[in-house]
Amino acid sequence: MRGITVPTVQAGHAIGVDLGGTKILAGIVARDGSVVRRTERATPQDSQEHVLAELEASVAELLDESVAAVGFGAPSPIDQENGIVVRCVNLPLENAPLRDRMRERFGIPVGLDNDANAAAIGEWRAGAGRGEDDLVMLTLGTGVGGGVISGGRPFRGRNGEGVELGHIVIVHEGRPCQGGCTGRGHLEAYVSGSAATAAARETFGPSADAHRLVRLANEGDAEAKKLLEEVGGYLGSAIGSFVNVFAPQLVVLGGGFGVAAFDYLRKPAEEVALREALEPMRSSVRLSKAELGTAAGFIGAAFVAFEALDNS
């Protein structure tokens, strides 16, 4: 289709930016969810100002006359009213007035959302969840994020915070959570890429990590498969609860680790989830791998940008 479209210089695109624990992924995205151009940068770990400067640089690198709005997904609850990133668990970013700063810098509408909410929107509009009205997305990366589409709309909570599905308790008085989270037994402490890395190091030594764990499983290593199956079981406990709470048609598993390990996590996760979920939700829910891969976050952030543009 794009080949026969008469090229016009019009503001039909948005830039979506996905702020991750280790990478900033950004892209120019069209209304149909197709990606025109994309970039990747390392996420600074040292200071808030450095993180904000890199976010600006990601946008500046892509910005052209076709871009009408910019959207950000950040791994934090969001204060939608004031356009503020409240507090990232795994990054030095707290009370950051991202919307005002970016609007002043670039002079176009700015949308802001929780990163996993953005990923859920991306998969809903352009990926595994196309055509569904009710879905739950879990992103397993450095941390664990969650996004919910309910009744054909993103579910954002009272003030647009998004939902923190990674920080629900699956084990009472269990493992301490990560980063700045004071909780115990949270899902994130059991199924994130960081949790998989910790488990891999215990079994395979200090140089192992989540990537190596998946690689070993791919090579047929029984111990690696067993570790991933354990992770899948914990994941299933959480999915069963989410199915009981949100009654989705679809649960989408994304994030770097979630996608890489999907084939090993799926069976144990489904077994446990189906044990925990009640009818009629149990019979109607499916578990799918994210289709957009690690691009889901920035594609969804671009749809959040379109939302800001259409409401401006």
CB-nearer residue toward Zn ion: 156 or 167: 167
In the complex, minimum distance from the CB of residue 85 to Zn ion, in angstroms, rounded to a whole number: 17
- Determine the longest span between alpha carbons in the chain, in angstroms: 61
Residue 167, interface with Zn ion (CB under 5 A)?
yes
Please give the backbone phi and psi of residue 212, each rounded to the nearest 5 degrees, phi first.
-65, -35
Candidates 24-32, 150-158, 186-194, 215-223 — which segment interacts with Zn ion by CB under 5 A? 186-194
CB-nearer residue toward Zn ion: 13 or 167: 167
- 69, 140, 181, 239: which one contacts Zn ion (CB under 5 A)? 181
> Contact, 95 vs 264, CB < 8 A?
no
Candidates 50-58, 150-158, 182-190, 298-306 — which segment interacts with Zn ion by CB under 5 A? 182-190
In the complex, minimum distance from the CB of residue 90 to Zn ion, in angstroms, rounded to a whole number: 11
Q: Residue 148 in 3-state DSSP?
A: strand
DSSP result, 102-119: HHHHH-S-EEEEEHHHHH
In the complex, minimum distance from the CB of residue 30 to Zn ion, in angstroms, rounded to a whole number: 36
- 13, 99, 156, 186: which one contacts Zn ion (CB under 5 A)? 186
Query: For Zn ion, which residue has the nearest CB?
Result: 177
Spell out, one character per residue from 111 to 150, where the chain touches Zn ion: x when CB under 5 A holds, - when not. ----------------------------------------
CB-nearer residue toward Zn ion: 19 or 181: 181
> Contact, 125 vs 286, CB < 8 A?
no
CB-nearer residue toward Zn ion: 44 or 183: 183
CB-nearer residue toward Zn ion: 139 or 288: 139
CB-nearer residue toward Zn ion: 93 or 305: 93
DSSP result, 35-104: EEEEEEEEPP-S-HHHHHHHHHHHHHHH--TTEEEEEEEESS-EETTTTEEEE-SSSS-EEE-HHHHHHH
Q: What is the separation, in whole angstroms, between the first and last Cα of the chain?
A: 29
CB-nearer residue toward Zn ion: 121 or 191: 191
Task: Name residues whose C-beta falls within 8 Å of residue 236's C-beta, 6 or more positions apart in sequence.
Answer: 268, 269, 270, 271, 272, 273, 275, 276
CB-nearer residue toward Zn ion: 116 or 216: 116
Residue 177, interface with Zn ion (CB under 5 A)?
yes
> Contact, 125 vs 85, CB < 8 A?
no
d(CA 258, CA 204): 20
CA-wise closest residue to 297 among 146, 115, 167, 136: 115
Neighbours of 218 (CB within 10 A): 14
In the complex, minimum distance from the CB of residue 188 to Zn ion, in angstroms, rounded to a whole number: 5
In the complex, minimum distance from the CB of residue 245 to Zn ion, in angstroms, rounded to a whole number: 18
Residue 293, interface with Zn ion (CB under 5 A)?
no
In the complex, minimum distance from the CB of residue 139 to Zn ion, in angstroms, rounded to a whole number: 15
CA-wise closest residue to 22 among 168, 185, 148, 211: 211
> Contact, 291 vs 259, CB < 8 A?
no
Residue 185, interface with Zn ion (CB under 5 A)?
no
Residue 183, interface with Zn ion (CB under 5 A)?
yes
Chain positions contacting Zn ion, by CB under 5 A: 167, 177, 181, 183, 186
